[in-house]
Chains A and B, each alone.
Chain A
Amino acid sequence: MGQGLSFDLTQDELEDLQRGCSSKFSQTEIQILYKRFLKLDNQKRGFISGEELLAIPEFSLNPLAQRLVSVFENVNFKDFLQILSAFSPKATKEEKLRFMFNFHDVDGDGYISRLDLEHVVRQRVGASLDESEMDRLLTRVLEESGSKQERLNFETFCACFLEEGDFSLDVDIPSDDEL
């Protein structure tokens, strides 16, 4: 009690972690996130498993929980910070878009293919669209994107988010007196 947070990480480790996430988080925020990380990592294995993530009630209700799990599960704290840094208010619009692009790019080939898109859209709509409707939707969407090979690259993706203040992808880090 009363010792605060700072004894979990040394100054060197903190600075290393901060470099790892390109200073998108302050050192205090990193310590807070570390606490949270340890708390979620029930079995103390150094990473958070999918089950441990899905045990958060708010999280389990998220339509994209499955895909989010595959992004955040089984990574060490340094990578966890790096992934999360897209949600920092300090992250640029491009970094945020890059995160959303990669989120769609399920197979990781640098393009959002028809299959990638179907994977994510399926998670968002559940069973409410049947196969033919889904098919029509994907065709329609890819047509609107104007791409000829039925896949989106990062530039086409960004073109949909041109306007200023168009979307927000910021997450507040709680302050340490609440921990």
Chain B
Amino acid sequence: MGKESKPRKASMMIMRTGSNRLNMSSDDLGGLGLDFNNTSQNKVADEIDETLRKEEKIRVSGNACAHGLLRDVLDISSTLEEGAAAIVDDSFTRCFNKASLGNWNFNAYLLPFWVLGVLLRYFVLFPLRLAWLLASFVVLNILFALSRLIMPKGALKLRVERKLVQLIAVCWVASWSAVIICHGPKPTPSKGRVWVSNHTSMIDWIVLSQVTPFAAVMQKHPGWLGLVQTFIMDGFGCIYFNRKSAKDRDKVARTIKEYVKNDGSFPLLIFPEGTCVNNQYSTMFKKGAFDLDCAVCPIAVKYNKIFVDAFWSSRQQSFTMHLFELMTSWAVVADVYFLEPQYRREGETSIEFASRVQAMIARKARLKVVPWNGMLKYFKPSPKLCEQKREIFGSAIKKRLKEDKDFPREAVETREGKT
């Protein structure tokens, strides 16, 4: 019995295998939309279709080995389950819905206060914050550059650099008058550890770095953000990749492995979802970060949407606009939970490990786990996909039929003998 139920379980996991190819991708693709030309977009879309096809194939074949043909033809449970789930809750589009701020219950004497608030936020707070951000950014970055150029290599230099990065993050966070409450032990850098977190916006990295400076694995962005990445963040071991290039993925995977093994100066932060989700859902955790043979320290970040939704919906909004939105709100409110480090258990695959850690984070941050690959945000699954699903099932059945033709009696007999 256990033997038969196993393939079934495996087939449930298959939905996540997209991670094989779309490894390691982290941070938001957002800026990518800008410089993406059509051909490469199609290429990646094809790649995704391919992944989904593969998943379906494994799923079907996993089922097919376990049972008799009759059972396979009659068992429509997983397809029905998917269908009903879609009727009950259209979870995929929900993952990326930005919460609109709740309407006020306006009345005559509340209105003046609201207007006053808007004026204050946009015309007093925002200029002050912007000036503060720019000033601190320039000063600290000059200091950072100086320390890199002048100071001799050693523990002191490292300490100064860490402190400066942290200060940049602190100043940045202050420009939203953020209220961030940390729970759990403060992370300390060391070899053989990697931190993983759910992902809501590029600001996750800033929020976490003001606790302790992290090196992140992220998408290379165009524009001023790209400059910051090249000239500053590069200095402390951030790892970049370009999602559209498969070659990059392998390279990044190798770099991460090296980094975790050899360099503990800046803790490494990976966002296994690989894309920004609206902080109410959690899309599939890609297995890359869980393949490193090291301790995985989960971090759960929960934003409070009371003043502003911190979700960066990168397809609709540039990062600059996103920052503007944050800087014109009263405050960004967030809870950060540093959870207990997890190790891969004996016999656990990296995919199972990834979903275990995801469950931990989701529970803490009150997120709902959905099986979707976050990459689908950028590429709409084509209607052809349905036809492909059919084809895969069809060819699996065909194969079974062919096998049956070779040994028809035998198959029937063994089955009857069992029941």
Chain A residues near B (Cβ < 8 Å): 1-2, 33, 36, 40, 53, 56-65, 68, 72, 84, 87, 96, 99-100, 103-104, 117, 120-121, 123-129, 133, 136-137, 140-141, 143-146, 157, 159-175, 178
A169 neighbours in B (Cβ, 8 Å): 77, 80-81
Contact A64 B76 (CB under 8 A): yes
Which one of B1, B83, B416 has the greatest number of beta carbons of chain A within 10 Å?
B83
Which one of B77, B88, B94, B280 lies within 8 Å of A33 (CB-CB)? B88
Cβ B85 vs Cβ A172 within 8 A = yes
Task: Tell me whether A165 and B385 are in contact (CB under 8 A).
Answer: no
Chain B positions within 8 Å of A, measured between CB atoms, are: 1, 4-5, 8, 67-71, 73-94, 102-103, 105, 280, 368, 380-381, 383, 385-387, 389-391, 393-395, 397-398, 401, 404, 408, 412, 415-416, 419
Measured between beta carbons, the chain A residues less than 8 angstroms from B391 are: 125-126, 128
Instruction: Say yes or no: A168 contacts B88, CB within 8 Å.
Output: no
**Distance, CA A42 to CA B143, complexed state (A):** 59
The CA-CA distance from A174 to B419 in the complex, in Å, is: 39
* 30 pairs from A and B in contact (CB 8 Å cutoff): A36-B88, A58-B86, A59-B87, A60-B383, A60-B386, A63-B393, A64-B76, A64-B80, A65-B386, A87-B80, A87-B88, A96-B77, A100-B76, A100-B77, A100-B80, A125-B390, A128-B393, A137-B73, A137-B401, A146-B416, A160-B74, A161-B71, A163-B4, A166-B5, A168-B78, A169-B77, A171-B84, A172-B85, A172-B88, A172-B89
**A residues in contact with B76, CB < 8 Å:** 64, 100, 103-104, 120, 124
Chain A contact residues, majority secondary structure: helix
Q: Are B70 and A141 in contact (CB under 8 A)?
A: yes
Nearest to B408 among chain A residues (CB) is A140
User: A117-B73, A124-B79, A165-B5 are contacts. A61–B87 as well, Cβ < 8 Å?
Assistant: no
Chain B residues closer than 8 Å to A136, beta-carbon distance: 401
In the complex, are the beta carbons of B4 and A1 less than 8 A apart? no
Whether B69 lies near A171 (C-beta < 8 A) is: no
Across the A-B interface, give the 10 residue pairs with the lowest CB-CB distance, nearest first: A128-B394, A126-B390, A125-B394, A58-B86, A59-B86, A167-B77, A144-B70, A62-B83, A160-B71, A128-B391
Residues on B with C-beta less than 8 A from A171 are 81, 84-85, 88
For the complex formed, measure the closest distance between the CB of A24 and the CB atoms of chain B, giving whole angstroms: 13
Q: Which residues of A contact B69 (CB under 8 A)?
A: 137, 140-141, 144
Q: A1-B102, A2-B102 are in contact. Are A125 and B383 (CB under 8 A)?
A: no
- Tell me the smallest distance from the CB of B113 to a CB of chain A, in Å: 18
How far, in whole Å, are A87 and B86 apart by their CA atoms in the complex?
A: 12
